[in-house]
Amino acid sequence: MMEQLQKLLPGEDLFGLIGRSFVMSTFRNFNSMRKTMQLTHFRHLPGTLISQDFKKIIAALNMNSNQTHSEHTCFNMLKSSISPQKLEEHVSLSKNITFNCRGSVVSTPWRWCSDCVKEDTKNYGIPYYHRDHQIPGVFRCLKHQCTLVTQCYNCQYKVTSIEQKPLPLVDEVCPDCGSIFDRNYFLLSPKMIAVENICLEMAYGRLQIPQQKLAQRVQNYMGVCQHEIEMVGVKIAIRNFYLNIVDFYGIDELKKYFSTVTKISRGIHCPALKGSNMYDFRSIGKPNNPVAIALIWHFLDEMLDNQK
């Protein structure tokens, strides 16, 4: 059933592989391939954290699951931040493509690096989507130190599903309006570079930030203990913790990460950075967004180090 599935190329995104396999297959259209391969999703989105299709494709490739996830999907971002039990629940229950929780991450289109596209075409005869370029919170190609290509700046055309453009654009001409499909030129602040690095480390499974570890550091920062949290006597400390984070990043940077960021009279409102499991070991609230965890982790790195 999966005969027409290609082998993964170095750093290739697992859903990107579906796109490339389609291009190299004899299927007439994407839908017939989807049916034959019994794929669950109708739209394969970039940066997917949970997918029923991961398991199917990895089994068909006869690959090691952990290694495939660390190099070819974004699943580890979730794995490194929630307990195995909770993870199991989400994986078995979720048919959603994206991991939905409060203040969800800004949905990014399929992205690529035009230098990688050129190199891959030279080395492998075909360009392909890289996993590292689809990680939420990552804006650059680390290999070439350039920002990723995201959309046409003339007409806003972007690639939202793998079916739409199964391979990155080689000639960089917008399929809709014909103008140059350019890189997203902007400079990342030192904070964004640090957060980007944390997101990458999480995706590779090299950085584990389970709830317990995060809550402990936040409690250290607030100068309170679990007992006091349970007594509900630390509302002001918790409030200040949020205010300090949003101040630290500012509204412009937060908007690059989260869809819900608004200016309110008391400051900035960013629901993704709230959630009792940020500071309470025993909280059974919805798991936090991995990008929110990365932002808080970097904030704590700066603050706790400065206190030394």
| Residue in 143, 191, 255, 256 binding Zn ion, rule: CB under 5 A | 143
Nearer to Zn ion, 105 or 116 (CB): 116
- C-beta of 130: minimal distance to Zn ion in Å? 8
- C-beta of 146: minimal distance to Zn ion in Å? 7
CA–CA gap between residue 46 and residue 110 (Å, rounded): 5
Counting contacts by CB under 5 A, is residue 200 touching Zn ion?
no
Counting contacts by CB under 5 A, is residue 226 touching Zn ion?
no
| 150-169: contacts with Zn ion (CB under 5 A) | 152, 154-155, 157
Counting contacts by CB under 5 A, is residue 174 touching Zn ion?
yes
CA-based torsion, 73, 76, 77, 83: positive or negative: positive
- C-beta of 154: minimal distance to Zn ion in Å? 5
- C-beta of 163: minimal distance to Zn ion in Å? 19
Do residues 143 and 116 lie in contact, with contact meaning Cβ atoms separated by under 8 Å?
Answer: yes
- C-beta of 129: minimal distance to Zn ion in Å? 12
Do residues 281 and 215 lie in contact, with contact meaning Cβ atoms separated by under 8 Å?
Answer: yes
Counting contacts by CB under 5 A, is residue 256 touching Zn ion?
no
Counting contacts by CB under 5 A, is residue 116 touching Zn ion?
yes
Angle at 9 between CA 35 and CA 293, to 5 degrees: 85
CB atoms within 10 A of CB 264: 7
- For 262, the enclosing helix (H) or strand (E) is strand 262-264
- C-beta of 88: minimal distance to Zn ion in Å? 35
| Residue in 10, 31, 42, 176 binding Zn ion, rule: CB under 5 A | 176
| Residue in 141, 229, 245, 273 binding Zn ion, rule: CB under 5 A | 141
The beta-carbon contacts of 125-128 under 8 Å, at least 24 apart in sequence, are: 126/20, 126/23, 126/24, 126/167, 127/167, 127/168, 127/170, 128/9, 128/12, 128/13, 128/16, 128/17, 128/19, 128/20, 128/167, 128/168
Instruction: Please choose, out of 114-122, 228-236, 270-278, 293-301, the segment that lies near Zn ion by the rule CB under 5 A.
Output: 114-122
| 3-42: contacts with Zn ion (CB under 5 A) | none
CA–CA gap between residue 30 and residue 36 (Å, rounded): 10
Counting contacts by CB under 5 A, is residue 182 touching Zn ion?
no
CA–CA gap between residue 151 and residue 132 (Å, rounded): 18
Counting contacts by CB under 5 A, is residue 300 touching Zn ion?
no
- C-beta of 49: minimal distance to Zn ion in Å? 23
CA–CA gap between residue 274 and residue 114 (Å, rounded): 37
> In the complex, which residues of this chain contact Zn ion (CB under 5 A)?
113, 115-116, 141, 143-144, 152, 154-155, 157, 174, 176-177
